[in-house]
Amino acid sequence: MNNISLAKKNADLFDLMSPEVADDYLLKYMLGEESKDSTLNLSDFHNPFSYEMDIAADSVGATERKTVDLVETFNYLVGLHVKSLESNLNRGYVRVEGSLPNGERALVLWRDCDKIGYEELTKYASRFDLYAKEQTFDVIYINGDHNLPTAFTSDDEDGEVTRTLKLRQIEPEFLSKMFAEETL
């Protein structure tokens, strides 16, 4: 909650509303929908190893700016059972191998996009096992934009071939899991 910044796009509209209607709109719609983009700044995923948030320091409302471990948070959100982790922050990457709750083998590649941009990622692709020809992983997550060729895997169940995207961006999955409503 300390990291929500709401911009009242139509501030003059609030002047026309009764205080009860304005509060109702703020709590039921604006906090639920318009605040999603402000609670997690996706542009900061460009350099995920220095992501910071305001964390509550006491019950009075004071906050402290602290670094948040996005790698560990993502592993938790997707339910990744970590098999191995390789980290080289000087070179700008963290590479995590593991399995998802549905049994899929997953590779999660976090990179500092300033250090490993489009060209560098292409050079690192073999070293990180990103090529689709190799059936090492069922799904590969990568943060930031990339120019790697889209890769598909196929399953032969009941004589049908299903093609699913093998390379996925971390950011949409992160947001999806972060704001998913729990089902009981």
Widest distance between CA atoms in the chain: 62
Cα 161 from Cα 3, distance rounded (Å):
45
Q: What's the mean pLDDT when you consider all of the chain? A: 78
Alpha helix ranges (H) inside the chain: 11-16, 19-25, 36-39, 70-78, 118-124, 170-178
- pTM as predicted: 0.71
Q: Residue ranges of the domains in the chain?
A: 11-67, 70-178
Out of 30-34, 45-49, 73-77, 119-123, pick the least confident: 30-34
3-state class (DSSP) for residue 50: helix
Backbone angles phi, psi at 93, to 5 degrees: -150, 155
Could you read off the pLDDT of 114-132 as tens digits, one per residue?
Answer: 999 988 988 888 777 776 5
Cα 95 from Cα 141, distance rounded (Å):
10
- Tell me if 131 sits within 8 A of 153, measured CB to CB: no
At 175 the pLDDT is 84
Which tokens is 102 given? 């549905």
The DSSP result for 92-129, as a single string, is: TEEEEEEE-TTS-EEEEEEE-TTTS-HHHHHHHTTTTT
Task: Please name the residues in contact with 36: beta carbons below 8 A apart, sequence gap of 6 or more.
Answer: 175, 179
Could you read off the pLDDT of 142-173 as tens digits, one per residue?
Answer: 999 888 877 665 666 665 655 566 888 999 89
User: What is the DSSP pairing of strand 139-142 with strand 152-157?
Assistant: unpaired
